[in-house]
Amino acid sequence: MDADLLPSKLNALVVIAVGITIWWLSIFLSGSHIFPTPWHVILGIVELGKQGLLLKHVAASLYRVTYGYLLAALLAIGLGLLMGRFRRVYVACNALVQMLRPISPIAWIPLSILWFGVGDLSPIFLIFLASFFPMVVGTVAGVMTIERRYLWAAENFGLGRLALFRYVILPGALPQIITGMRIGLGVAWLVVVAAEMVAINSGLGYLIIDSRNAGNRYDLVVAGMVLIGIIGLLLDSLMRSLERLDEVQWRYGR
């Protein structure tokens, strides 16, 4: 571990510990018998693990996010590169992208159920929509911010269109692309939880709503929320690791 990062990581642990302490004190001082303490939440997670439900729900959510997100990345980055490079493609597609982008993925839930039924395809479609637009916008911005002198130099050296994309445009836009991918993954993780509350019978979203309906098991409700937060942090850390690639480091000051 980098010695410079150690104090920051310790500070993060202190902040988390302070948050948990405030959580426990709030319940103790209020005398609430409904909202679970941190210890009850830990016991709830252990219970889910013993029943085999923990792995089942986590795997189901990650499965849907993986398929929807990767499909969105494949199409969004390709379209974004074309929109950023070719003016005609940008003019043709930008209006539709900007019209659809502000629509909340949650608003698509009724239509997704109508089109795909109650199953994995419905949340995968919602995840695709949620992560597609941030990646398109990030990729377009990345291509458009490449300095013109790099493109002129490449053209002067006789690079063909495919070589130009491979050696100049894609590396030049990569930092912005990764930023868009990071944002898209965060939104996708939000949406899969909401979709599972309505249109599916497995996953962390389903765990939360089912625990609420099955005898007010708020310890499991909060356990599901904690698991969502922890997995979200791990996914974001995974995306942040891409920023350490040599092809991306040139764009970052530190």
Closest by Cα among 191, 180, 177 to 103: 191
Tell whether the model's pLDDT for residue 12 goes beyond 90. Answer: no
Higher pLDDT, 167 or 58: 58
Tell whether the model's pLDDT for residue 137 goes beyond 90. Answer: yes
What is the pLDDT, as a whole number, of residue 4?
57
Q: 63-74, pLDDT tens digit by residue?
A: 999 999 999 999
Tell whether the model's pLDDT for residue 79 goes beyond 90. Answer: yes
Could you tell me the residue ranges of all domains in the chain? 1-33, 37-249
What is the pLDDT, as a whole number, of residue 118?
79
Looking at 1.10.3720.10, 1.10.1790.20, 1.10.260.40, 3.50.50.60, the CATH number of the domain 37-249 comes to: 1.10.3720.10
Mean pLDDT (whole number) for 79-98: 92
pLDDT class for 136, splitting at 50, 70, 90?
A: very high
Q: 190-209, pLDDT tens digit by residue?
A: 888 888 877 678 888 888 88
| CA separation, residue 154 to residues 60, 66, 150, 157, 191 (Å) | 46, 36, 6, 5, 41
